[in-house]
Amino acid sequence: MSFQRTQEKLKILADAAKYDVSCSSSGSKRANTNKGLGDATGMGICHSYTEDGRCVSLLKILLTNHCIFDCTYCVTRKSNDIKRAAFKVQEVVDLTINFYRRNYIEGLFLSSGIFKSADFTMERLVAVAKKLRLEENFNGYIHLKSIPGASDELMREAGLYADRLSVNIEIPTEAGLKKLAPDKKREDFIKPMVKVKNEIIQYKAEKKIIKSTPKFAPAGQSTQMIIGASGENDFQIMQTSNHFYKNYNLKRVYYSGYVPISYDNRLPQIGSAVPMLRENRLYQTDWLMRFYGFDVSEILNEQHQHLDLDIDPKLGWALRNLHEFPVDINTADKRMLARIPGLGMKSVYKILNARRFRKLNWEHLKKIGIALNRAQYFMVCESNLYEKRDLTAEKIKGLILQNSTSKYQKSLSNQLNLFG
């Protein structure tokens, strides 16, 4: 490995890969059984964090940033005048192994620009994973990108070596895709996703009968959507997200606030702010859907197509549904506890456990670590002190905002000024 050449390539190809937000390294069950290198059984580990506060868990690089496509939102698009580079298969293997041995990373996240054809590209990605597994005895985490349009045969092979596969649909609606990436079709994204989904189901079924059945993408599939590039509203985005969770058994949908990288007039201009607050609200909604028992239509529907920026989506829902409150902390079921604004699932479980020993009062709740600023208006406990006034939703919202400082205060006032 020539150090200087590798160094230059690494700079270019890591820079080009950074817009993919996934860094998850959990959920696999690949144990180190052969006295080889690495183990991907436990929870994921973030080995470091960049200055933007994002986790660094995997060596996230492109195999190459040469690309035959010209998607406007993408930094490696054909027409963009940037330095191009390409790794050799062995270079990626060496980097991964040496970073892993030093405990820098949990594994590799390999993506690529599309050169020549989908299959030609996918073949190279698979070759890297195969070499890591078979020649290097590597049991760490491997996340491969599914190249849109790749053949079923290659996708099957990819799943045998990778822990996770992902294909980014990027633009939430087909209309948006048509506008921003005219030479790409939705079907091309879906095809590998369907293949992998079916294989996962099949391998799981076979494993029940024959224990030695190899693992197939044990950490499942994920996808990513760009937020704020093509004008979709939150309702459309979460509908798409829900559709993919339900129909393709995805483990994760990632939302990536668009970072302006182009002067194309179909897109937000360079210098405009990354919609980080909106991204955050979408993730909160995603969590409510997956872990808090909400149906997406309770939060976003024809009447409410936009998430509030100044309050979180659960509080927003609660304020529209005051008739469901107050909830009695000492008797309510899990479902209702999870719906109290300010209560996370960890707090819910703590309450469920602690109340088996005694009735809980405010003092207990505070000590346990429940954030009462929001919760107090929506609950009662073992105490005569509770909110007895019949407050309107507006009034409650005002009181809560008065007593809290959002970490987004600055961006909030900027974004609100736009409408002011």
Partner 1 sequence: MKYKNLIYDGTFDGFLSAVFYVFEYKLETVNIQNEFVVQQGLFSEVERIITDDVKANRVWQGLKSKLSTQGKYQLYYAFLSEQIGVELLLLDYIQYAFSKSKNVDKDYAHPSVLKIAQIAKSVGREKHRMEAFVRFRLTSDNIYFANIEPDFNVLPLIEKHFKRRYADQKWLIYDKKRHYGLFYDLEKVEIIRMDFPENFDFTKTDDKFFAEQEFEFQKLWQDYFKATNIASRKNMKLHIRHVPKRYWKYLSEKQPN
CB 297, min distance to partner 1, A? 31
Q: Which is nearer to partner 1, 102 or 389 (CB)?
A: 102
If binding is defined by CB under 8 A, does position 29 make contact with partner 1?
Answer: no
* CB-CB neighbours of 336 under 10 Å: 17
If binding is defined by CB under 8 A, does position 360 make contact with partner 1?
Answer: yes
If binding is defined by CB under 8 A, does position 102 make contact with partner 1?
Answer: yes
Task: Enumerate residues 6+ apart whose C-beta is below 8 A from 379.
Answer: 325, 326, 327, 328, 329, 340, 386
For residue 150, what are the CA distances in angstroms to 143, 384, 420?
16, 64, 48
Q: Which is nearer to partner 1, 177 or 338 (CB)?
A: 338
CB 110, min distance to partner 1, A? 14
If binding is defined by CB under 8 A, does position 357 make contact with partner 1?
Answer: yes
SS3 sequence of 103-158: CCCCEEEEECCCCCCHHHHHHHHHHHHHHHHHCCCECCEEEEECCCCCCHHHHHHH
CB 302, min distance to partner 1, A? 33
- The angle subtended at Cα 279 by Cα 412 and Cα 56, nearest 5°, is 115
- The SS3 assignment for 53 reads coil
Nearest Cα neighbor of 6 from 138, 115, 96 is: 96
Element containing residue 379 per DSSP (H, E): strand 379-380
Site string for partner 1, 30-49 (x = CB under 8 A): -xx--xxxxx-xx--xxxxx
Residues binding partner 1: what is the number (CB under 8 A)? Answer: 58
Q: Which is nearer to partner 1, 101 or 334 (CB)?
A: 101
Q: Are 254 and 222 in contact (CB under 8 A)?
A: yes
Q: Site for partner 1 (CB under 8 A): which residue of 7, 79, 303, 405?
A: 7
Q: Which is nearer to partner 1, 141 or 189 (CB)?
A: 141
CB 301, min distance to partner 1, A? 31
Report how far residue 371's alpha carbon sits from residue 364's, in angstroms, rounded to the nearest whole number: 12
- Judged by CB under 8 A, the stretch of 81-89, 299-307, 351-359, 390-398 that binds partner 1 is 351-359
Q: Which is nearer to partner 1, 201 or 372 (CB)?
A: 372
Alpha carbon 154 to chain centroid distance?
A: 25
CB 351, min distance to partner 1, A? 9
CB 264, min distance to partner 1, A? 17
Q: Are 132 and 138 in contact (CB under 8 A)?
A: yes
What's the one-letter identity of residue 255? Y
If binding is defined by CB under 8 A, does position 6 make contact with partner 1?
Answer: yes
If binding is defined by CB under 8 A, does position 103 make contact with partner 1?
Answer: yes
Q: Which of residues 128-167 bind partner 1 (CB under 8 A)?
A: 137
Nearest Cα neighbor of 294 from 278, 280, 276, 314 is: 314
Q: Which is nearer to partner 1, 191 or 355 (CB)?
A: 355
If binding is defined by CB under 8 A, does position 371 make contact with partner 1?
Answer: no
Q: For 65-92, give one letter per residue: b (16+ CB within 10 A) or e.
A: bbbeeebbbbbbbeeeeeeebbbebebb
Q: Which of residues 246-285 bind partner 1 (CB under 8 A)?
A: 257, 259-260, 274, 276
Enumerate the β-bridge partners of residue 387.
Answer: none
Report how far residue 75's alpha carbon sits from residue 63's, in angstroms, rounded to the nearest whole number: 15
Q: Which is nearer to partner 1, 11 or 306 (CB)?
A: 11
Q: Which residues bind partner 1 (CB under 8 A)?
A: 3, 6-7, 10-12, 14-15, 17-19, 31-32, 35-39, 41-42, 45-56, 59-60, 95, 98-99, 101-104, 137, 257, 259-260, 274, 276, 350, 353-354, 356-358, 360, 364, 367-368, 407
